[in-house]
Amino acid sequence: MRSALGFFSLLAFGVLGAGVLTVVGTAEGDAAIAELLGVRDGEGLHPGSLFVGLVLGVVLSALARVSWTELPRRFVAWLLSHERIFFRLGLVGVFLGILVFY
C-alpha cells in the first residue's frame, strides 16, 4: 500500500510540475492559468501538459525505486562477472586496429 501511495504522490507531483512549467512558459499570470484550465476556450484540461505530467510522474516513481546506495556495488560486481567478455572485446579492438592501420 505504501508503494502505491508513493507512486500516486509522485504522479501527482509530476502533473503539478508539468502544469507549473506550462504556465511559466506560455504567458503571464492569470491569463496563462485561465488558458491552461480552459476557462476561456471551454476545452477543459490541457492534454499536452497532462501527458507530460503523467510521464514525469512515472519517471520519478521509477527513480524512487532505485537503491542508489547499492548501485555502485552492483555495477562493480557486474563488471567483474563479465571480465572475460571485456577482455575479448579489448582483443578484438586491438586486432581490428592492427588490420585497419597496418
Tell me what percent of the residues of the chain surpass a pLDDT of 90: 28
Residue range 4-31, pLDDT digits in tens: 777 777 777 777 776 776 666 555 555 6
pLDDT of residue 9: 76
Residues 6+ apart with CB under 8 A from 33: 23
Dihedral of alpha carbons 11, 13, 15, 18, sign: negative
CB 35 within 8 A of CB 27: yes
What is the model's pTM?
0.41
Residue range 41-57, pLDDT digits in tens: 545 566 677 777 778 87
Residue range 67-89, pLDDT digits in tens: 888 989 999 999 999 999 999 99
In 3-state terms, what secondary structure has residue 1? coil
pLDDT of residue 83: 93
